[in-house]
């Protein structure tokens, strides 16, 4: 059974495992550098949680907090499970941990986005109580 824990180290091996998981979300995404991972781990507004099977990072998810005039907003990013460990409840366990942490950090609401072709992920988010909104998502490459 995997252990859900907050990631605290940014060595090359950890970075390689995180990078491999990120690339599962999209082939256009690049790997993860140790320097960037250290910035993520040092950020007071970001928490990176992983599901570990022994020394293997089998799943991950990120909680990002945004301070807004109307309150603290939380966003879940990059929830992904290595295919070798899917259907074991890791995605749900990490998502529940991120929701718990958002509440503990004082967030008034939490949101996320998920591609429509990620059927299992979308079913999970609905099971957890997320409501699909009819929105336009825009992106500006910098």
CB 55 within 8 A of CB 11: no
Please state, in angstroms and rounded to a whole number, the distance separating the CA atoms of residues 11 and 82.
20
Read off the pLDDT of residues 47-65 as tens digits, 9 standing for 90 and up: 999 999 999 999 999 999 9
Phi then psi dihedrals of residue 68, to 5 deg: -125, 155
Residue 22 has pLDDT above 80, yes or no: yes
Three-class DSSP category at 17: helix
Three-class DSSP category at 1: coil
What local confidence, expressed as pLDDT, does residue 130 receive?
94
Residue 9 has pLDDT above 90, yes or no: no
Q: Which domains does the chain have, with CATH numbers?
A: 3-127 (3.40.630.30)
Residue 1 has pLDDT above 90, yes or no: no
- Mean pLDDT along residues 61-70: 96
What local confidence, expressed as pLDDT, does residue 85 receive?
95
Read off the pLDDT of residues 86-119 as tens digits, 9 standing for 90 and up: 999 999 999 999 999 999 999 999 999 988 888 9
Q: Give strand ranges (E) for the chain.
A: 3-6, 46-53, 56-68, 71-81, 109-111
Please state, in angstroms and rounded to a whole number, the distance separating the CA atoms of residues 36 and 10.
9
């Amino acid at each position: 059974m995997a252990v859900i824990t907050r990631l605290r180290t940014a060595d090359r091996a950890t970075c390689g495992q995180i990078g491999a998981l990120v690339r599962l979300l999209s082939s256009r995404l690049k790997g993860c550098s140790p320097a960037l991972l250290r910035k993520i781990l040092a950020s007071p507004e970001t928490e990176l949680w992983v599901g570990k099977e022994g020394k293997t990072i089998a799943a991950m998810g990120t909680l990002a907090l945004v301070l807004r005039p109307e309150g603290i907003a939380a966003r879940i990013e990059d929830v992904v499970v290595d295919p070798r460990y899917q259907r074991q409840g890791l995605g749900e366990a990490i998502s529940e941990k991120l929701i718990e942490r958002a509440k503990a950090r004082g967030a008034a609401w939490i949101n996320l986005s998920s591609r429509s072709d990620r059927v299992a992920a979308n079913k999970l988010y609905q099971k957890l109580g997320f409501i699909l909104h009819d929105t336009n998502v825009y992106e500006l490459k910098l």
